[in-house]
Amino acid sequence: MLMGLCQSDLDAIAMSDKNQYKNSKMIDREIEKQSKVMPPQKLLLLGPGESGKSTTLKQIKILHQSGFSDLEIEERKYVVFQNLFSGVASILEYIDKHKYPLIGNEVSEAREIFERYAATKVNYALEEIPIKVKNAILILWKDKQIQLAVSCRSEFHLSESIIYFLENLDRIAEPGYKPTYQDILHTRVPTTGVVKMKFTAKNIDFEVYDVGGQRSERRKWLFVFDNVDAIIFIVAVSEYDQVLKEDATTNRLYEAIELYRSIAASNYFIDTSIILFLNKKDLLEAKVGKVPIKNYFKDYEGENTFEDGIRYFRRRFDRATVGRQKRPYFHVTQATDTRQIEVVISCVLDAIIQENLKDTGMV
Protein backbone atom coordinates (compact mmCIF):
# COMPACT_ATOMS: atom_id res chain seq x y z
CA MET A 1 0.00 0.00 0.00
CA LEU A 2 1.33 3.44 -0.93
CA MET A 3 0.02 5.36 2.04
CA GLY A 4 2.90 6.58 4.19
CA LEU A 5 5.57 6.28 1.53
CA CYS A 6 6.74 9.81 0.68
CA GLN A 7 3.25 11.01 1.71
CA SER A 8 2.85 14.74 1.18
CA ASP A 9 2.11 16.51 4.46
CA LEU A 10 -0.31 19.27 3.62
CA ASP A 11 0.31 20.93 6.98
CA ALA A 12 4.00 21.29 6.17
CA ILE A 13 4.13 21.81 2.41
CA ALA A 14 7.37 23.77 2.62
CA MET A 15 9.17 20.77 4.16
CA SER A 16 7.71 18.02 2.00
CA ASP A 17 10.22 18.17 -0.85
CA LYS A 18 13.19 17.89 1.53
CA ASN A 19 11.68 14.94 3.41
CA GLN A 20 10.74 13.17 0.19
CA TYR A 21 14.27 13.61 -1.13
CA LYS A 22 15.76 11.98 2.01
CA ASN A 23 13.31 9.09 1.80
CA SER A 24 14.04 8.67 -1.88
CA LYS A 25 17.79 8.34 -1.28
CA MET A 26 17.25 5.69 1.39
CA ILE A 27 14.91 3.72 -0.85
CA ASP A 28 17.37 3.96 -3.77
CA ARG A 29 19.93 1.97 -1.82
CA GLU A 30 17.36 -0.61 -0.74
CA ILE A 31 15.96 -1.36 -4.18
CA GLU A 32 19.22 -1.26 -6.14
CA LYS A 33 19.92 -4.89 -5.31
CA GLN A 34 16.54 -6.07 -6.62
CA SER A 35 16.00 -3.81 -9.62
CA LYS A 36 17.98 -5.74 -12.23
CA VAL A 37 15.31 -8.43 -12.59
CA MET A 38 12.31 -6.11 -12.67
CA PRO A 39 10.35 -5.84 -15.96
CA PRO A 40 9.68 -2.43 -17.56
CA GLN A 41 7.16 -0.40 -15.57
CA LYS A 42 4.19 1.08 -17.45
CA LEU A 43 2.92 4.48 -16.34
CA LEU A 44 -0.09 6.44 -17.58
CA LEU A 45 -0.44 10.21 -17.37
CA LEU A 46 -4.19 10.82 -17.16
CA GLY A 47 -6.37 13.82 -16.41
CA PRO A 48 -8.45 16.51 -18.10
CA GLY A 49 -7.09 18.68 -20.89
CA GLU A 50 -4.65 21.46 -19.96
CA SER A 51 -3.98 20.00 -16.52
CA GLY A 52 -0.20 19.70 -16.98
CA LYS A 53 0.28 16.16 -18.28
CA SER A 54 2.40 17.13 -21.28
CA THR A 55 4.44 19.53 -19.14
CA THR A 56 5.16 16.68 -16.74
CA LEU A 57 6.23 14.51 -19.67
CA LYS A 58 8.59 17.28 -20.83
CA GLN A 59 10.08 17.35 -17.33
CA ILE A 60 10.69 13.59 -17.49
CA LYS A 61 12.45 14.11 -20.82
CA ILE A 62 14.64 16.82 -19.27
CA LEU A 63 15.39 14.83 -16.13
CA HIS A 64 15.68 11.27 -17.40
CA GLN A 65 16.56 11.54 -21.07
CA SER A 66 19.09 13.85 -22.67
CA GLY A 67 16.73 16.80 -22.70
CA PHE A 68 15.89 18.47 -26.00
CA SER A 69 18.14 18.31 -29.04
CA ASP A 70 19.17 21.46 -30.94
CA LEU A 71 16.65 20.56 -33.64
CA GLU A 72 13.86 20.10 -31.09
CA ILE A 73 14.72 23.43 -29.47
CA GLU A 74 14.60 25.13 -32.88
CA GLU A 75 11.22 23.55 -33.58
CA ARG A 76 9.90 24.73 -30.21
CA LYS A 77 10.77 28.30 -31.18
CA TYR A 78 7.90 28.26 -33.66
CA VAL A 79 5.58 26.89 -30.97
CA VAL A 80 6.57 29.81 -28.72
CA PHE A 81 5.79 32.26 -31.52
CA GLN A 82 2.49 30.52 -32.30
CA ASN A 83 1.42 30.54 -28.64
CA LEU A 84 2.37 34.21 -28.32
CA PHE A 85 0.63 35.44 -31.46
CA SER A 86 -2.51 33.33 -31.00
CA GLY A 87 -2.73 34.48 -27.38
CA VAL A 88 -2.60 38.16 -28.31
CA ALA A 89 -5.18 37.52 -31.05
CA SER A 90 -7.48 35.84 -28.50
CA ILE A 91 -7.21 38.87 -26.21
CA LEU A 92 -8.15 41.21 -29.06
CA GLU A 93 -11.12 39.01 -29.99
CA TYR A 94 -12.33 39.15 -26.39
CA ILE A 95 -12.01 42.94 -26.37
CA ASP A 96 -14.07 43.20 -29.56
CA LYS A 97 -16.73 40.82 -28.24
CA HIS A 98 -17.16 42.82 -25.03
CA LYS A 99 -16.71 46.19 -26.74
CA TYR A 100 -13.74 47.34 -24.67
CA PRO A 101 -12.42 50.42 -26.50
CA LEU A 102 -8.72 50.71 -27.26
CA ILE A 103 -8.19 54.42 -26.72
CA GLY A 104 -5.52 56.47 -28.46
CA ASN A 105 -3.74 56.49 -31.80
CA GLU A 106 -0.66 54.68 -30.48
CA VAL A 107 -2.50 51.57 -29.30
CA SER A 108 -4.74 51.55 -32.40
CA GLU A 109 -1.70 51.68 -34.66
CA ALA A 110 -0.04 48.95 -32.59
CA ARG A 111 -3.06 46.71 -33.10
CA GLU A 112 -3.02 47.36 -36.84
CA ILE A 113 0.70 46.49 -37.06
CA PHE A 114 0.20 43.29 -35.08
CA GLU A 115 -2.85 42.08 -37.01
CA ARG A 116 -1.36 42.89 -40.40
CA TYR A 117 1.80 40.95 -39.57
CA ALA A 118 0.00 38.02 -37.90
CA ALA A 119 -2.25 37.61 -40.94
CA THR A 120 0.80 36.93 -43.14
CA LYS A 121 2.37 34.38 -40.78
CA VAL A 122 -0.17 31.58 -40.68
CA ASN A 123 2.27 28.92 -39.44
CA TYR A 124 4.60 31.32 -37.56
CA ALA A 125 7.64 29.78 -39.26
CA LEU A 126 9.64 33.00 -38.81
CA GLU A 127 13.22 33.23 -37.69
CA GLU A 128 12.62 36.15 -35.36
CA ILE A 129 10.00 38.71 -34.40
CA PRO A 130 10.62 42.06 -36.13
CA ILE A 131 11.34 44.96 -33.79
CA LYS A 132 8.34 46.90 -35.10
CA VAL A 133 6.02 44.00 -34.29
CA LYS A 134 7.61 43.44 -30.87
CA ASN A 135 7.12 47.09 -29.98
CA ALA A 136 3.51 46.93 -31.14
CA ILE A 137 2.83 43.93 -28.91
CA LEU A 138 4.48 45.68 -25.95
CA ILE A 139 2.25 48.73 -26.47
CA LEU A 140 -0.80 46.48 -26.52
CA TRP A 141 0.39 44.59 -23.43
CA LYS A 142 0.67 47.81 -21.40
CA ASP A 143 -2.79 49.06 -22.38
CA LYS A 144 -5.33 49.14 -19.54
CA GLN A 145 -8.08 47.52 -21.59
CA ILE A 146 -5.77 44.68 -22.56
CA GLN A 147 -4.85 44.21 -18.90
CA LEU A 148 -8.55 44.16 -18.00
CA ALA A 149 -9.19 41.47 -20.61
CA VAL A 150 -6.26 39.40 -19.33
CA SER A 151 -7.66 39.61 -15.79
CA CYS A 152 -10.82 37.94 -17.17
CA ARG A 153 -8.85 35.19 -18.93
CA SER A 154 -10.78 32.37 -17.25
CA GLU A 155 -13.80 33.47 -19.30
CA PHE A 156 -12.18 32.85 -22.69
CA HIS A 157 -9.70 30.02 -22.08
CA LEU A 158 -6.58 32.15 -22.39
CA SER A 159 -3.57 30.04 -21.46
CA GLU A 160 -1.54 31.25 -18.50
CA SER A 161 1.53 30.79 -20.67
CA ILE A 162 0.66 33.87 -22.72
CA ILE A 163 1.44 36.02 -19.69
CA TYR A 164 4.82 34.32 -19.32
CA PHE A 165 5.65 34.91 -22.99
CA LEU A 166 4.52 38.54 -22.90
CA GLU A 167 6.59 39.20 -19.80
CA ASN A 168 9.60 37.70 -21.58
CA LEU A 169 8.93 39.28 -24.97
CA ASP A 170 12.11 41.39 -25.08
CA ARG A 171 14.22 38.24 -24.76
CA ILE A 172 12.04 36.16 -27.07
CA ALA A 173 12.25 38.82 -29.79
CA GLU A 174 16.05 39.06 -29.70
CA PRO A 175 17.92 38.06 -32.88
CA GLY A 176 19.12 34.46 -32.66
CA TYR A 177 16.59 33.59 -29.96
CA LYS A 178 16.67 29.99 -28.75
CA PRO A 179 13.99 28.83 -26.33
CA THR A 180 15.13 27.96 -22.82
CA TYR A 181 13.80 24.87 -21.10
CA GLN A 182 11.44 27.14 -19.15
CA ASP A 183 10.13 28.52 -22.44
CA ILE A 184 9.56 24.99 -23.72
CA LEU A 185 7.80 23.97 -20.51
CA HIS A 186 5.40 26.90 -20.96
CA THR A 187 4.50 26.05 -24.56
CA ARG A 188 1.09 24.58 -25.16
CA VAL A 189 0.25 22.07 -27.91
CA PRO A 190 -2.91 20.01 -27.31
CA THR A 191 -2.14 16.28 -27.13
CA THR A 192 -3.97 14.16 -29.67
CA GLY A 193 -3.68 10.40 -29.64
CA VAL A 194 -1.07 8.73 -27.45
CA VAL A 195 2.49 9.92 -26.84
CA LYS A 196 4.88 7.24 -25.57
CA MET A 197 8.26 7.83 -23.94
CA LYS A 198 10.79 5.31 -22.66
CA PHE A 199 13.36 6.16 -20.02
CA THR A 200 15.54 4.51 -17.42
CA ALA A 201 15.73 5.63 -13.80
CA LYS A 202 17.03 3.88 -10.68
CA ASN A 203 18.23 1.05 -12.96
CA ILE A 204 14.63 0.35 -14.01
CA ASP A 205 13.11 0.76 -17.47
CA PHE A 206 9.90 2.78 -17.63
CA GLU A 207 7.34 3.38 -20.35
CA VAL A 208 5.17 6.45 -19.83
CA TYR A 209 2.10 7.29 -21.90
CA ASP A 210 0.61 10.76 -22.24
CA VAL A 211 -2.96 10.63 -23.56
CA GLY A 212 -5.07 13.59 -24.70
CA GLY A 213 -7.37 14.80 -21.93
CA GLN A 214 -10.19 16.43 -23.88
CA ARG A 215 -13.44 14.47 -23.95
CA SER A 216 -13.02 13.65 -27.63
CA GLU A 217 -9.63 12.06 -26.89
CA ARG A 218 -10.66 9.89 -23.93
CA ARG A 219 -12.03 7.04 -26.03
CA LYS A 220 -8.40 6.37 -26.97
CA TRP A 221 -7.46 5.72 -23.34
CA LEU A 222 -8.71 2.13 -23.53
CA PHE A 223 -5.91 1.24 -25.94
CA VAL A 224 -3.28 1.77 -23.22
CA PHE A 225 -5.15 0.39 -20.18
CA ASP A 226 -3.61 -3.10 -20.17
CA ASN A 227 -0.89 -4.06 -17.67
CA VAL A 228 -0.55 -0.62 -16.12
CA ASP A 229 1.72 -0.42 -13.06
CA ALA A 230 0.76 3.11 -12.01
CA ILE A 231 -1.41 6.04 -12.99
CA ILE A 232 -0.30 9.61 -12.41
CA PHE A 233 -3.57 11.56 -12.49
CA ILE A 234 -2.97 15.29 -12.93
CA VAL A 235 -5.51 18.00 -12.18
CA ALA A 236 -5.11 21.79 -12.31
CA VAL A 237 -6.52 22.89 -8.95
CA SER A 238 -6.29 26.54 -10.03
CA GLU A 239 -9.10 26.00 -12.54
CA TYR A 240 -11.90 25.81 -9.95
CA ASP A 241 -13.56 28.87 -11.52
CA GLN A 242 -13.25 27.75 -15.16
CA VAL A 243 -15.39 25.69 -17.52
CA LEU A 244 -14.42 23.17 -20.17
CA LYS A 245 -13.54 24.36 -23.65
CA GLU A 246 -15.72 21.61 -25.08
CA ASP A 247 -18.64 22.24 -22.69
CA ALA A 248 -19.23 25.74 -21.38
CA THR A 249 -21.70 24.45 -18.76
CA THR A 250 -19.29 22.12 -16.92
CA ASN A 251 -16.82 23.32 -14.29
CA ARG A 252 -13.32 21.95 -14.89
CA LEU A 253 -12.76 20.79 -11.31
CA TYR A 254 -16.12 19.01 -11.12
CA GLU A 255 -15.23 17.26 -14.37
CA ALA A 256 -11.80 16.31 -13.00
CA ILE A 257 -13.27 14.85 -9.79
CA GLU A 258 -15.78 12.71 -11.70
CA LEU A 259 -13.12 11.55 -14.15
CA TYR A 260 -10.84 10.65 -11.26
CA ARG A 261 -13.69 8.78 -9.56
CA SER A 262 -14.32 6.71 -12.70
CA ILE A 263 -10.63 5.84 -13.07
CA ALA A 264 -10.28 4.84 -9.41
CA ALA A 265 -13.40 2.64 -9.60
CA SER A 266 -12.49 0.98 -12.90
CA ASN A 267 -11.94 -2.78 -12.90
CA TYR A 268 -8.90 -2.12 -15.07
CA PHE A 269 -7.12 -0.48 -12.14
CA ILE A 270 -8.12 -2.44 -9.03
CA ASP A 271 -4.47 -3.38 -8.41
CA THR A 272 -2.93 -0.28 -9.98
CA SER A 273 -1.18 2.38 -7.92
CA ILE A 274 -2.71 5.84 -8.36
CA ILE A 275 -0.79 9.03 -7.66
CA LEU A 276 -2.67 12.33 -7.77
CA PHE A 277 -0.88 15.56 -8.68
CA LEU A 278 -2.78 18.62 -7.44
CA ASN A 279 -1.07 20.76 -10.04
CA LYS A 280 -0.64 24.47 -10.78
CA LYS A 281 -0.22 25.32 -7.12
CA ASP A 282 1.44 28.63 -8.04
CA LEU A 283 -1.63 29.75 -9.97
CA LEU A 284 -3.95 28.62 -7.17
CA GLU A 285 -1.95 30.64 -4.66
CA ALA A 286 -2.19 33.75 -6.85
CA LYS A 287 -5.92 33.34 -7.52
CA VAL A 288 -7.54 32.08 -4.33
CA GLY A 289 -7.42 35.41 -2.47
CA LYS A 290 -9.21 37.15 -5.34
CA VAL A 291 -11.69 34.49 -6.51
CA PRO A 292 -13.43 32.73 -3.57
CA ILE A 293 -13.64 28.96 -3.93
CA LYS A 294 -17.06 29.05 -2.23
CA ASN A 295 -18.50 30.82 -5.28
CA TYR A 296 -18.04 27.55 -7.18
CA PHE A 297 -18.04 24.87 -4.44
CA LYS A 298 -20.89 25.63 -2.05
CA ASP A 299 -19.71 23.20 0.65
CA TYR A 300 -16.36 24.98 0.98
CA GLU A 301 -16.00 26.36 4.51
CA GLY A 302 -12.34 27.37 4.61
CA GLU A 303 -10.68 30.75 4.35
CA ASN A 304 -9.62 32.17 0.99
CA THR A 305 -6.09 30.84 1.44
CA PHE A 306 -3.88 28.46 -0.48
CA GLU A 307 -3.54 26.07 2.47
CA ASP A 308 -7.29 25.79 3.08
CA GLY A 309 -7.95 25.44 -0.63
CA ILE A 310 -5.46 22.58 -1.01
CA ARG A 311 -6.88 20.76 2.01
CA TYR A 312 -10.38 21.08 0.61
CA PHE A 313 -9.52 19.81 -2.86
CA ARG A 314 -7.51 16.95 -1.42
CA ARG A 315 -10.54 15.89 0.64
CA ARG A 316 -12.79 16.12 -2.40
CA PHE A 317 -10.53 13.84 -4.42
CA ASP A 318 -9.95 11.53 -1.46
CA ARG A 319 -13.71 11.07 -1.04
CA ALA A 320 -13.91 10.09 -4.70
CA THR A 321 -11.94 6.92 -3.90
CA VAL A 322 -13.76 5.80 -0.74
CA GLY A 323 -13.92 2.00 -0.70
CA ARG A 324 -10.85 1.53 -2.84
CA GLN A 325 -8.47 -0.90 -1.11
CA LYS A 326 -5.31 0.49 -2.64
CA ARG A 327 -5.43 4.11 -1.54
CA PRO A 328 -4.02 6.87 -3.70
CA TYR A 329 -1.43 9.30 -2.54
CA PHE A 330 -1.06 12.95 -3.27
CA HIS A 331 1.45 15.57 -4.34
CA VAL A 332 0.93 19.32 -4.57
CA THR A 333 2.85 20.33 -7.68
CA GLN A 334 3.93 23.04 -10.07
CA ALA A 335 4.77 21.19 -13.27
CA THR A 336 6.93 24.03 -14.63
CA ASP A 337 9.23 23.88 -11.58
CA THR A 338 11.94 21.42 -12.61
CA ARG A 339 13.57 21.23 -9.19
CA GLN A 340 10.32 20.35 -7.44
CA ILE A 341 9.21 17.91 -10.12
CA GLU A 342 12.58 16.14 -9.92
CA VAL A 343 11.95 15.39 -6.24
CA VAL A 344 8.32 14.42 -6.79
CA ILE A 345 9.05 12.12 -9.75
CA SER A 346 11.88 10.45 -7.81
CA CYS A 347 9.51 9.77 -4.93
CA VAL A 348 6.79 8.48 -7.27
CA LEU A 349 9.20 6.10 -9.01
CA ASP A 350 10.37 4.79 -5.64
CA ALA A 351 6.77 4.10 -4.65
CA ILE A 352 6.04 2.29 -7.91
CA ILE A 353 9.18 0.16 -7.68
CA GLN A 354 8.60 -0.78 -4.05
CA GLU A 355 4.98 -1.67 -4.74
CA ASN A 356 6.06 -3.90 -7.62
CA LEU A 357 8.70 -5.60 -5.48
CA LYS A 358 6.11 -6.25 -2.76
CA ASP A 359 3.66 -7.74 -5.27
CA THR A 360 6.32 -10.12 -6.58
CA GLY A 361 7.55 -11.05 -3.10
CA MET A 362 11.02 -9.59 -3.61
CA VAL A 363 10.80 -7.42 -0.50
Residue ranges of the binding site for GTP: 50-55, 185-191, 210-214, 279-282, 335
The active-site residue out of 55, 56, 334, 354 is: 55
The active-site residue out of 160, 210, 239, 255 is: 210
The active-site residue out of 188, 218, 261, 327 is: 188
SS (H, E, C) the chain: CCCCCCCCCHHHHHHHHHHHHHHHHHHHHHHHCCHHHCCCEEEEEECCCCCCHHHHHHHHHHHHCCCCCHHHHHHHHHHHHHHHHHHHHHHHHHHHHCCCCCCCHHHHHHHHHHHHHHHHCCCCCCCCCCHHHHHHHHHHHHCHHHHHHHHCHHHCCCCCHHHHHHHCHHHHCCCCCCCCHHHHHHCCCCCCCEEEEEEEECCEEEEEEEECCCHHHHHHHHHHCCCCCEEEEEEEHHHCCCECCCCCCCEHHHHHHHHHHHHHHCHHHCCCEEEEEEECHHHHHHHCCCCCHHHCCCCCCCCCCHHHHHHHHHHHHHHCCCCCCCCCEEEECCCCCHHHHHHHHHHHHHHHHHHHHHHCCCC
188 is catalytic: yes
50 is catalytic: yes
Give the annotated binding-site residues for Mg(2+): 54, 191
The active-site residue out of 145, 180, 214, 338 is: 214
The active-site residue out of 20, 50, 255, 336 is: 50
Give the annotated binding-site residues: 50-55, 185-191, 210-214, 279-282, 335
Residues serving a catalytic function are 50, 55, 188, 210, 214
